[in-house]
C-alpha cells in the first residue's frame, strides 16, 4: 500500500511540475508577444524613418549649417535605447539572444557609429551617402529576416505550448481522477476492514453462551478506566449451588439458567455499566460514576430481581436460584493493580457465601460488612 501511495504521489508531483513549467513558459511567451514584438516593430519604424532621408540628400552636398539630419540622428539614439529593451526582453531565451547579439547588434553598432560621424560632419559626398545607405539596407534586411524568424518561432512555440497545455491538463486531470478513485477505494476498504475488525473484536470479547462480555472484555474496560483515572465500583457474584443445579437438572437446563440470568444483568446494566461472565457461573459488573452506597443498592436490586425469576432449584435452601454478591470500590490513580481490587471483591463475595449465601457483602476500609438478605418473594 505504501508503494502504491508513493507511485500516486510521484505521478501527481511529476504532473504538477510539468503543469507549472508549462504555465511559466506560456507566461514568458505571452510576455514576448506583448513586449518583444512591439519593440521590434518600433525599431523597424525608426529605421524606415531614417532611411527616408534618402529623399532629401541623395547625391547632394549639404551646407554645414543644415539641420535636416539632426532629428534623424536622434532617431538613431532611440533605436539604440530600444535595442537595450529588446536585449532585456529576450534574456530568458538563449537562442534568440544569441542570434540577436551575433547578427543585429554588430549592425546596430556600425550604424550608430556612422550616425556619430554624421553628427560631427553632416556634409556628405555621394560616396559617403551610398556607404551609409548600404549599411542601412543591410541592417533593414537582417532586421526584417530576424523579425520574421522570431515571429515564426513564437508561432511554433505557441502551438506547441497549446498542445502541451492540453496534454498536461488531461494528464493532470487523469492523475487526480486516479488518485481520487484510489482514495475512495481505500476509504471503502478501510471501512470494510474496520467493520470486520469490530465484528471480530466483538466476537473475541463476547461470551457465546450468554451474550455478555468475557474476561478479556472486562480487562479492556478496566484498562480504559484506569487510563482516564476514573473511579468505579466492582461487583462480583456467582450463582448459589450451581454445580448441584447442573447435577439435578442437567447442563442444558444449566445453560438456560445462565442465559436467563444474563438477560436480567443486561437489562439492569443498560446505559449504566459493563457486565461480563468471568467464569462458569461467576459474573462481574463495573459501574463508573457510582458511589459505594449506590453500587450496594444496585447489587441488592440485582440479587432481588434474580431471585424473583423463580427458577426452580430444589437443592437450594431457598428453593429457587439465587446469587451471592461481593462489592468493592476502585479509585484510580492507584499504585495497586486491578487484580488487587478483584481479590477484595472476591473476598466480599466469599463472605456472602460464608454467612449463608443470597447476600450482598461490601469490602469497605479493610473490613467486610454483610447485608441481611431479603426474604424470598
Report the DSSP pairing between strands 274-277 and 282-288: antiparallel
Annotated active-site residue in 55, 145, 281, 336:
281
Q: Which pLDDT band, with edges at 50, 70 and 90, does 22 fall under?
A: low
**What pLDDT does residue 206 have?**
86
Quote the pTM value: 0.51
**Quick one: pLDDT at residue 320?**
96
Q: 10-24, 123-137, 201-215 — which is least confidently predicted? A: 10-24
Min mean pLDDT across 145-149, 217-221, 311-315 is at: 145-149
Residue 242 banded pLDDT, cuts 50, 70, 90: very high
Q: Cβ atoms within 10 A of the Cβ of 102, count? A: 9
Q: What is the mean pLDDT of residues 41-69?
A: 52
Q: What domains appear along the chain, each with residue ranges and CATH number?
A: 2-182 (1.20.120), 215-370 (3.30.70.270)
Asked if the model's pLDDT at residue 98 lies above 50, the reply is yes
281 has catalytic annotation:
yes
Q: Is the pLDDT of residue 68 over 60?
A: no
Mean pLDDT, the chain, rounded, equals 76
Between 343 and 45, the more confident residue is 343
Higher pLDDT, 148 or 231: 231
Q: How far is residue 190's CA from residue 92's CA, in Å, rounded to a whole number?
A: 50
User: Which pairing describes strands 360-364 and 367-370: parallel, antiparallel, or unpaired?
Assistant: antiparallel
Measure the CA–CA gap between 100 and 296, rounded to whole angstroms.
100
CA contacts within 13 A on the Cβ side of 178:
15
Residues 125-171 have pLDDT tens digits of: 667 667 767 777 777 777 777 777 767 766 766 666 666 666 666 76
C-alpha cell at 157: 512555440
Which of helix, strand or coil describes residue 312? strand
- Cell 424470598 belongs to 376
Q: Per-residue pLDDT averaged across 272-284, rounded? A: 93
Residue 196 has pLDDT above 90, yes or no: no
Q: Got the DSSP string for 184-224?
A: HHHHHHHHHHHHHHHHHHHHHTB-TTTSSB-HHHHHHHHHH
Amino acid at each position: 500500500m505504501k508503494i502504491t501511495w508513493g507511485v500516486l504521489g510521484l505521478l501527481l508531483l511529476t504532473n504538477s511540475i510539468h503543469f507549472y513549467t508549462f504555465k511559466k513558459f506560456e507566461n514568458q511567451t505571452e510576455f514576448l508577444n506583448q513586449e518583444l514584438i512591439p519593440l521590434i516593430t518600433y525599431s523597424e519604424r525608426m529605421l524606415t524613418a531614417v532611411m527616408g532621408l534618402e529623399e532629401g540628400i541623395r547625391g547632394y552636398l549639404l551646407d554645414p549649417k543644415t539641420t535636416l539630419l539632426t532629428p534623424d540622428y536622434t532617431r538613431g539614439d532611440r533605436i539604440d535605447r530600444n535595442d537595450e529593451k529588446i536585449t532585456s526582453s529576450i534574456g530568458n531565451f538563449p537562442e534568440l539572444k544569441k542570434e540577436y547579439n551575433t547578427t543585429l547588434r554588430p549592425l546596430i553598432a556600425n550604424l550608430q557609429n556612422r550616425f556619430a560621424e554624421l553628427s560631427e560632419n553632416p556634409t556628405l559626398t555621394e560616396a559617403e551617402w551610398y556607404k551609409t545607405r548600404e549599411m542601412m539596407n543591410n541592417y533593414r534586411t537582417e532586421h526584417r529576416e530576424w523579425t520574421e524568424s522570431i515571429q515564426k518561432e513564437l508561432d511554433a512555440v505557441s502551438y506547441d505550448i497549446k498542445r502541451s497545455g492540453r496534454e498536461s491538463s488531461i494528464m493532470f486531470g487523469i492523475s487526480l481522477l486516479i488518485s481520487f478513485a484510489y482514495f475512495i477505494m481505500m476509504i471503502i476498504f478501510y471501512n470494510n476492514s474496520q467493520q470486520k475488525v469490530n465484528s471480530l473484536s466483538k466476537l473475541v470479547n463476547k461470551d457465546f453462551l450468554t451474550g455478555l462480555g468475557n474476561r478479556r472484555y472486562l480487562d479492556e474496560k478496566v484498562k480504559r478506566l484506569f487510563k482516564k483515572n476514573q473511579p468505579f465500583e466492582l461487583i462480583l457474584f456467582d450463582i448459589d449451588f450451581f454445580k448441584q443445579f447442573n447435577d439435578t437438572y442437567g447442563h442444558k437446563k444449566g445453560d438456560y439458567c445462565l442465559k436467563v440470568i444474563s438477560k436480567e444483568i443486561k437489562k439492569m446494566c443498560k446505559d449504566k455499566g459493563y457486565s461480563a461472565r468471568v467464569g462458569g457461573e461467576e459474573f462481574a459488573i463495573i459501574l463508573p460514576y457510582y458511589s459505594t452506597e449506590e453500587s450496594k443498592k444496585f447489587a441488592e436490586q440485582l440479587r432481588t430481581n434474580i431471585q424473583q425469576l423463580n427458577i426452580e432449584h430444589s437443592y437450594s435452601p431457598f428453593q429457587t436460584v439465587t446469587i451471592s454478591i461481593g462489592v468493592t470500590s476502585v479509585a484510580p490513580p492507584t499504585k495497586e493493580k486491578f487484580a488487587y481490587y478483584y481479590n477484595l471483591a472476591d473476598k466480599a463475595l466469599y463472605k456472602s457465601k460464608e454467612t449463608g449465601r443470597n447476600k450482598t457483602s461490601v469490602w469497605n476500609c479493610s473490613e467486610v460488612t454483610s447485608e441481611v438478605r431479603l426474604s424470598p418473594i
